[in-house]
């Protein structure tokens, strides 16, 4: 794993000291809120509906046991005993007190963590495939590039006041688990004639104007990564619409300028700045790559696994849904579901965090990942150890066998926490999960991604959910719009609205009608909801959602 | 025609704790909305809002929220403001736990 060098350490400590002084000055009245707000946002501190919220970066979603334990310590000491893992692979604490935040940041710095650039119009935490370094279909580990980008973008003087926030995601596999097509810059590692490089996508994004990223370069050589990204961001920095917040993201810049013209400008800028990158970045990349080399795998005989798999139906069900093949046959990737039906998606208690840290330390080469789907991953576990891992997860209520199924729902904080929300998301997710638990239909329905956002900003990725749910405020009442057919993978697609929204107490029955219709019309158990939707289109689902209207139309 | 003025309360979040508070008629900040001053007059509401914005060492982000007279004092009219008097719906945290 990447370890801070002296520079990183000094930089983070200095930021903690600066922010401590700023908080002090805010409390004693020498800074006004207008002066303080941009400073606190630069350090990930928001003010929400009921309290402050601190967003802590988990760069490319990777952390070790010690870091996870420290998150547990923070949850216990300064918060209400839990933390919320988010779609941007961060963790948010919902109840910190202003005076405690400097100490929290200092505790984070003790384990090489921080909240820098988790807010504001800067380059945000760079995200990556949560199976990085472990996936069977991986061309190369995306994290060294994500770390290089993080070092380049942190406090980059040219990019602290961009027109708007800027998000980069990197994937190293053929299957996209990092939603790269919904990012300002999406990078996919590819190989051409034996040479490694990137397919570069620009201008993807969700929010009020969802757009799928477009290819700016089919093949960018590895060594050109930083100058090319710098060219993209600097062209955007000049062209981006600072006059209108809703048109300020690069997706709008690309749309308004045209892909061809903006690509030309990027290439022109690139050729100007390329010579300034003399190779220091590549030396650095070399060092970073060493830090991400594979663990010293210990080969283990998997008899214990086979016995448990053949005899313990609970274990078998969990393996079948939550365990993924690893690049090594005697190892596996474990997805720990933070979605036990009825619980808040993405919320883990301090006790659960400690348990996950212990599992990583005992069985997982001290590695954990946060997925954008708000789950926690143990990327390398010997198959022989899976029964013990499963037993330990059961002890702390983390053994839900539902990864990729209907109850594995993404939900943003919504109006239970977020000041921008127009409706709640969390209880909708809880109720859907519980309802289908009761119906015992999850396995019948099979792979399904439901994603819920509490407002048009789309932090819950609803646009790319197979079923997307968007909470709105319709004349002072919560109302939920459904979209179908979204997809966040390499076949990315934006979902289509079904029609009028549903009231809070109608949304779960609506989802139930939708899925019963799917079970009726699918061509076989192998046809997933998304495939069925692509085959039959919207109409049969509309008929199920709006039965009254059908009758009126037919009359 | 300008819209008729609807009754308001002044609300904000406390600087140190971050929790929701309301302005009382005697210039205190209360965590219990029913103690707030219900303002029926637009000019008075602007006046009270300015007063609140001048209290930057105590509260953050003061604004006027719609409210109505209830049995025990002002009550929220919009669900967002109702949540602010209680706390989140997924845990018994926030004001609902303090009551
Ligand atoms: C304090 C709470 C939050 C605030 C104020 C907030 C604000 C916003 C805003 C304004 C946008 C729209 C940006 C645009 O289109 O220009 C947005 C998008 C987004 N946010 Fe949040 N958000 C919050 C919580 C979260 C959480 C919990 C996550 C998960 C880490 C998240 C992840 C995202 C994602 C993935 C998008 C859509 C992708 C994009 O277009 O950038 N946000 N957020
Ligand atoms: S989608 Fe809206 S409600 Fe949900 S976290 Fe983002 S800003 Fe808040």
Nearest CA in chain A to B16: A98
Give the pLDDT mean for A463-478. 97
Whether A226 and chain B come into contact, CB under 8 Å, resolves to no
Binding-face residues of B in 5-24 toward A, CB within 8 A: 13, 15-20
Distances (CA, A) of A416 to A515, A518, B62, B81: 27, 31, 20, 11
Residue A151 has pLDDT above 70, yes or no: yes
Residue B2 makes CB contacts below 8 A (sequence gap 6+) with none
What's chain B's average pLDDT? Answer: 95
A233-280 pLDDT, tens digit each: 999 999 999 999 999 999 999 999 999 999 999 999 999 999 999 999
Q: Is A164 in the pocket of ligand 1 (CB under 6 A)?
A: yes
A175-225 pLDDT, tens digit each: 999 999 999 999 999 999 999 999 999 999 999 999 999 999 999 999 999
pTM (two decimals): 0.94
Residues on chain B touching A48 (C-beta within 8 angstroms)? 18
Looking at all shown ligands, the one closest to residue A373's CA atom is 1
Residue B99 has pLDDT above 90, yes or no: no
Nearest CA in chain B to A423: B80
What's chain A's average pLDDT? Answer: 95
Neighbouring C-beta atoms of residue A143, cutoff 10 Å:
27
Q: Is the ipTM of this complex over 0.85?
A: yes
Q: What DSSP string describes A259-325?
A: HHHHHHHHHHHHHHHGGG--SHHHHHHHHHHHHTPPP-------HHHHHHHHH-HHHHHHHHHHEEE
Q: Which residues on adjacent β-strands are paired with residue A214?
A: A202
Give me the pLDDT at residue A202, please: 98
CA distance A471 to A502: 9
* Ligand 2 atom nearest residue A419's Cα: 8
Percent of chain A scored above 90 by pLDDT?
Answer: 91
């Amino acid at each position: 794993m990447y370890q801070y060098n002296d520079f990183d350490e000094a930089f983070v400590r200095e930021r903690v000291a600066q922010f401590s002084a700023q908080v002090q000055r805010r409390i004693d009245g020498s800074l006004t809120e207008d002066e303080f707000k941009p400073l606190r946002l630069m350090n990930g501190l928001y003010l929400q509906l009921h309290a402050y919220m601190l967003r802590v970066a988990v760069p490319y979603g990777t952390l070790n046991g010690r870091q996870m334990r420290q998150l547990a310590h923070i949850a216990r000491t300064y918060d209400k005993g839990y933390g919320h893992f988010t779609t941007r692979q961060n963790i948010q604490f919902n109840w910190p007190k202003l005076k405690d935040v400097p100490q929290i940041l200092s505790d984070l710095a003790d384990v090489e963590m921080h909240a820098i650039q988790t807010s504001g119009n800067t380059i945000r935490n760079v995200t990556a495939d949560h199976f990085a370094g472990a996936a069977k279909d991986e061309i190369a580990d995306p994290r060294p590039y994500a770390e290089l980008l993080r070092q380049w973008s942190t406090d980059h003087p040219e990019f602290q006041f961009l027109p708007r926030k800027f998000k980069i995601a990197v994937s190293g596999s053929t299957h996209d688990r990092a939603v790269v097509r919904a990012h300002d810059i999406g990078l996919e590692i590819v190989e051409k004639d034996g040479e490694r490089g990137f397919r570069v996508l620009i201008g993807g994004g969700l929010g009020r104007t969802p757009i799928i990223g477009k290819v700016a370069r089919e093949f960018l050589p590895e060594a050109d990564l930083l100058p090319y990204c710098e060219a993209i961001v600097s062209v955007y920095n000049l062209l981006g619409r600072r006059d209108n917040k809703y048109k300020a993201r690069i997706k709008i810049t690309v749309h308004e300028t045209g892909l061809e013209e903006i690509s030309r400008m990027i290439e022109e800028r690139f050729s100007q700045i390329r010579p300034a990158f003399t190779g220091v970045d590549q030396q650095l990349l070399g060092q970073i790559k060493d830090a991400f080399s594979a663990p010293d795998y210990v080969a283990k005989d998997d008899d214990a696994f086979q016995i448990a798999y053949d005899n313990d139906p609970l274990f078998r069900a969990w393996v079948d849904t939550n365990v993924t093949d690893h690049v090594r046959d005697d190892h596996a990737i474990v997805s720990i579901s933070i979605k036990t039906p009825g619980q808040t998606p993405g919320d883990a208690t301090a006790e659960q965090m400690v348990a996950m840290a212990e599992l990583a330390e005992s069985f997982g080469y001290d590695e954990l990942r946060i997925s954008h789907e708000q789950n926690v991953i143990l990327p390398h576990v010997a198959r022989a150890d899976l029964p013990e891992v499963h037993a330990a997860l059961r002890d702390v209520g983390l053994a839900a066998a539902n990864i990729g199924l209907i109850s594995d729902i993404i939900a943003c904080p919504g109006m239970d926490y977020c000041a921008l929300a127009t409706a709640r998301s969390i209880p909708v997710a809880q109720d859907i999960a519980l309802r289908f638990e009761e119906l015992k239909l999850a396995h019948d329905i099979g792979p399904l991604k439901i994603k819920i956002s509490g407002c048009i900003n789309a932090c819950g990725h609803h646009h790319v959910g197979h079923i997307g749910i968007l909470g709105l405020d319709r004349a002072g009442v919560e109302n939920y719009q459904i979209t179908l057919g979204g997809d966040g993978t390499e076949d990315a697609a934006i979902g289509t609205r079904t029609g009028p929204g549903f009231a809070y107490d109608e949304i779960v029955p609506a989802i139930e009608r939708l899925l019963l219709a799917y079970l009726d019309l699918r061509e076989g158990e192998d046809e997933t909801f998304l495939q069925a939707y692509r085959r039959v289109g919207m109409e049969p689902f509309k008929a199920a959602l709006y039965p009254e209207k059908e009758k009126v139309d037919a009359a | 025609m300008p819209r008729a003025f609807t009754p308001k309360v002044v609300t904000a979040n406390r600087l140190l704790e971050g929790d929701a508070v309301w302005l009382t008629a005697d210039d205190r900040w209360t965590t219990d909305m029913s103690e707030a001053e219900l303002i029926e007059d637009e000019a008075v509401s602007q006046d009270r809002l300015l007063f609140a914005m001048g209290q930057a060492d105590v509260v953050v982000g003061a604004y006027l929220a719609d409210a109505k007279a209830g049995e025990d004092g002002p009550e929220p009219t919009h669900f967002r403001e109702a949540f602010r008097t209680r706390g989140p719906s997924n845990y018994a945290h926030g004001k609902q736990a303090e009551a």
